[in-house]
Amino acid sequence: MNAGPGERWVEVEEYLTATLVGEDETLAAARDATVAAGLPHIEVAAPQGKLLMLLARLTGARKVLEIGTLGGYSTTWLARGLPDDGEVVTCEYEARHAEVARENLERAGVGAKVSIRVGAALDTLPQLEAEGAGPFDLVFIDADKENNANYVNWALKLTRSGSLIVVDNVVRGGSVLDADQAGAGGDDAEAAAIRGTRDALALLGSDGRLEATAVQTVGSKGWDGFAFALVK
């Protein structure tokens, strides 16, 4: 039997990671420690993590905002894309996740560059605004998907012309197309995630302040994608 193309996604990802991504032991350890602590295995794959690092470099970012920390895997890549005086502010709902992330970030040597805001991001983002924490040069949105459009709106408040907004998990194995899934006997959480993601994509595509695209990805995390929007 011929293998379906999907059966080689993971091998190709491993090949690319070994050949050009150069995920080091510190990052692998952060991922392993996250899983060992019982947190979900839903961090970005290594090639996508490195893309975040490169985007931080390419935008000359000094201040990054992340929404959805988990164990700090993507946070570490982002922090590595910043100059020594750069800063990542990362928002995480679960105190336990923040605790695991803090350990991983310290072990990775980027702890001094990262502050973790514990709480629902829709509560902590207004605090950041009140503190005058922005403008952020890059925003990575990767938390509860039902709030993706709200997070894009917050990103718009906390950025400047020339900032980059990245949204994770916008393809969802193709289920982003299933606009009518709600109430169809399906998974309500997934229906809410689809709705939130579609609302965010519609906003990225229609808001005159943004210029956006999306790229589909395959690999160890299945079929998914990133959306990218430049703040004009």
- Return the one option of Mg ion, ligand DHB, ligand SAH, none that residue 120 interacts with (CB less than 5 to 8 A, by type): ligand SAH
Question: For residue 46, which of 28, 67, 65 has the smallest C-alpha distance?
Answer: 28
Question: For residue 67, which of 154, 134, 162, 164 has the smallest C-alpha distance?
Answer: 154
Please enumerate in sequence order all residues whose Cβ is within 8 A of that of 205, keeping only pairs 6 or more positions apart, or say none. Answer: 212
The number of angstroms, rounded, from the C-alpha of 87 to the middle of its chain's C-alpha atoms is: 16
CB of 56 to ligand SAH, least distance (A): 14
CB of 48 to Mg ion, least distance (A): 9
Output 44 or 212, the one with its CB closest to ligand SAH.
Answer: 44
Per-residue tokens: 223? 């079929």
Per-residue tokens: 128? 């950041």
Per-residue tokens: 91? 């928002």
Q: What is the DSSP letter of 24?
A: -
Judge whether 97 and 118 are in contact, CB under 8 Å. Answer: no
Residue 142 contacts ligand SAH per CB under 6 A: yes
Total chain residues near ligand SAH (CB under 6 A): 18
Output 69 or 112, the one with its CB closest to Mg ion.
Answer: 69
Residue 97 contacts ligand SAH per CB under 6 A: yes
Residue 17 contacts ligand DHB per CB under 6 A: no
Q: Which helix (H) or strand (E) is 118 found in, with range?
A: strand 114-118
- Return the one option of ligand DHB, Mg ion, ligand SAH, none that residue 58 interacts with (CB less than 5 to 8 A, by type): none
Output 26 or 220, the one with its CB closest to ligand DHB.
Answer: 220
In the list 42, 133, 192, 230, the residue contacting ligand DHB (rule: CB under 6 A) is 42
**Restricting to residues 147-176, which ones interact with ligand DHB according to CB under 6 A?**
168-169
Residue 104 contacts ligand SAH per CB under 6 A: no
Output 21 or 134, the one with its CB closest to ligand DHB.
Answer: 21
Q: Which stretch binds ligand SAH (CB under 6 A): 62-70, 177-185, 192-200, 206-214?
A: 62-70
Instruction: Using DSSP bridges, classify how beta strands 87-92 and 210-217 pair: parallel, antiparallel or unpaired.
Output: unpaired
Q: Which helix (H) or strand (E) is 148 found in, with range?
A: helix 148-157
